[in-house]
Amino acid sequence: MWEEIKQKIEIAFNFSLNKNQWRDIKRLIYEIAKRENLDYDTIIEELKDNHHINKAGGRNKFFVIKQQLINKRFPLTTKREKIDTKKVFLSDIKPPLPNLYQAKEFNPTHIFVEKDASDSYLLKRFQEKFAEVKIEELSFASEYIKKHKFSLEDLKKPIVFIVKERWDFIKPCPCTKNHLSCNYWILNLGFGCPFDCSYCFLQQYTNFPGIILPSNLNDFYDMFKDLLKKINSPIRIGTGEFCDSLALDEITNYSSQLINFLRDKPVLFELKTKSTKIDNLLKNEPSPNIIVSWSINPQEIIDKEELMTSSLEDRLTSAKIVQEKGYSLSFHFDPIIYSENWEKIYKETIETLFKKLTPPFRWISLGTLRGSRELKNIVEQRFPHSKIFYGELFLGEDKKLRYPKFLRKEIYQKMISWIRRYDTRTPVYLCMEDEEIWQVMDKKLTSSKDIESYIINNYDK
């Protein structure tokens, strides 16, 4: 089919496209068709109406065609500014995976356990819950990869690795190049997640199927005490970076153990989730330094892009129960995804949040959709129906695809003004943004460092 389309363009404009030129044109036509539900012939007919193409000589025809397609592909940005074509990411089209596997109800089919974790409480918990599942012992989880070549099709397969974490329990948030860093610390409670969000950055970092879970929290306690001696000041720390903090908590019981270890430490500890797994939180006494947070999005985005996660209503109901128990809450609007009706659906979501829950919260963070080039290619293969990466995304200074600055500023300004209608006290901050974008912030807290110290210094008030 694509060969036929190429010929139609070459005949219509009487020139030949080389390999790279055709890759760019094909990608642009493909994305315009996806975004606007158009067929390819309609897009070619529109090109034929542009008399500048035939007037241009030789290879200039390609540049005129490309420019017209870029204008059509990025209509909002075209109206606002000149598009730097170097920032438009045009790659070969990736077909959907033939044996595509997306997450289903969590029910492991295999459990692999490292020798050093074979008498752990975690293995016993899995044996109690999934008595029928075959358990296989390995010296190290990496042995699995030596025997089974990893393919993207295996990514979310229900396989569990119970390991002894040796090195990476705690580290500073890597943030992103050329953007303001946040001074947040990450407690690594495994890698992988039973949910399946189309935009999840973990998809590009994993060479393992399934979920890796550490069984040796005692070693984390020792490392953490050493770290506190070195940094000598309070920190903010969370577990939701490489997994969902609570999705498997009814099995791992991590939250109970960590709440009780950290309640008297000089940290703000955040459990971040898209689930309703709050039973362990309700069994434990809250503490001012333990914060439970929910990532939220409008329900129509949850339905399309956040597979197997809890509904918005269920997330907020769980948050209410947890708040009534006495825990502090925070919320993350991240990623905020632009669409024609984004204002309506995000405004409604903010209204729903504040109708259901009583502010102030410990913090609200905002972050617009972003992702690497690799992630876009993966999403195309794993989520063929998702259109989020066909939005107006350009390569930023950190080489991530992001909305243009004017659009990010507008989104943040509007989100903040809608939040402030209900709540003037909760600190709101931006995730992975640069100094220029931070200027949209209200109040005097205009950098991630300001926010960080405000949050830490106000946690017990």
- As measured in angstroms, the least distance from the Cβ of 369 to ligand SF4 is 12
- As measured in angstroms, the least distance from the Cβ of 241 to ligand SF4 is 8
Residue 165 touches ligand SF4, criterion: CB under 6 A: no
Residue 214 vs 286, nearer CB to ligand SF4: 214
Contacts with ligand SF4 by CB under 6 A: the residue count is: 9
- Give Cβ neighbours of residue 297 (< 8 Å, ≥ 6 apart): 305, 306, 312, 333, 335, 336, 337, 349
- As measured in angstroms, the least distance from the Cβ of 197 to ligand SF4 is 3
Residue 25 vs 322, nearer CB to ligand SF4: 322
- As measured in angstroms, the least distance from the Cβ of 169 to ligand SF4 is 18
Residue 195 touches ligand SF4, criterion: CB under 6 A: yes
Residue 61 vs 272, nearer CB to ligand SF4: 272
- As measured in angstroms, the least distance from the Cβ of 136 to ligand SF4 is 25
- Mask for 114-153, x = binds ligand SF4 (CB under 6 A): ----------------------------------------
Q: Contacts by 310-318 with C-beta closer than 8 Å and gap 24+?
A: 310/274, 310/275, 310/276, 312/349, 312/352, 313/352, 314/276, 315/273, 315/274, 315/275, 315/276, 316/352, 316/353, 316/356, 316/357, 317/276, 317/356, 318/275, 318/276, 318/278, 318/294
Residue 83 vs 243, nearer CB to ligand SF4: 243
Residue 97 touches ligand SF4, criterion: CB under 6 A: no
Orientation angle between helical segments 254-262 and 217-231, nearest 10 degrees = 30
Q: Cis omega (within 30 of 0) on the bond before 75?
A: no
Residue 193 touches ligand SF4, criterion: CB under 6 A: yes
- As measured in angstroms, the least distance from the Cβ of 14 to ligand SF4 is 49
Q: Are 32 and 43 a contacting pair, CB within 8 Å?
A: yes
Stretch that binds ligand SF4, among 40-48, 193-201, 260-268, 366-374 (CB under 6 A): 193-201
- As measured in angstroms, the least distance from the Cβ of 244 to ligand SF4 is 4
Name which position in 24, 31, 114, 244 contacts ligand SF4 (CB under 6 A): 244
CB burial string 101-110: b at 16+ within 10 A, e below: bebeebebeb
Token pair of 40, please? 């390819």
Name which position in 32, 163, 189, 197 contacts ligand SF4 (CB under 6 A): 197
The residue among 284, 276, 219 whose CA lies nearest residue 248 is 276
- As measured in angstroms, the least distance from the Cβ of 192 to ligand SF4 is 8
- As measured in angstroms, the least distance from the Cβ of 308 to ligand SF4 is 8
The residue among 68, 27, 77 whose CA lies nearest residue 50 is 68
- As measured in angstroms, the least distance from the Cβ of 453 to ligand SF4 is 27
Residue 76 touches ligand SF4, criterion: CB under 6 A: no
| CA 368 centroid distance within chain | 10
Residue 243 touches ligand SF4, criterion: CB under 6 A: yes
Token pair of 165, please? 């974490």
Name which position in 28, 117, 200, 431 contacts ligand SF4 (CB under 6 A): 200
- Give Cβ neighbours of residue 352 (< 8 Å, ≥ 6 apart): 312, 313, 316
Name which position in 24, 31, 196, 433 contacts ligand SF4 (CB under 6 A): 196
Stretch that binds ligand SF4, among 89-97, 122-130, 192-200, 349-357 (CB under 6 A): 192-200
Return the bridge partners of 162, or none. 113, 213
Question: Distance between CA 417 and CA 424 in Å, rounded?
Answer: 10
- Give Cβ neighbours of residue 114 (< 8 Å, ≥ 6 apart): 137, 138, 139, 140, 141, 161, 162, 163, 164
Name which position in 76, 202, 345, 416 contacts ligand SF4 (CB under 6 A): 202
Give the strands of the sheet with 134-138, arranged side by side.
Answer: 134-138, 110-114, 159-163, 211-214
- Mask for 259-298, x = binds ligand SF4 (CB under 6 A): ---------------x------------------------
Question: Distance between CA 256 and CA 392 in Å, rounded?
Answer: 43
Task: Give the interface with ligand SF4 as residue ranges (CB under 6 A).
Answer: 193, 195-197, 200, 202, 243-244, 274
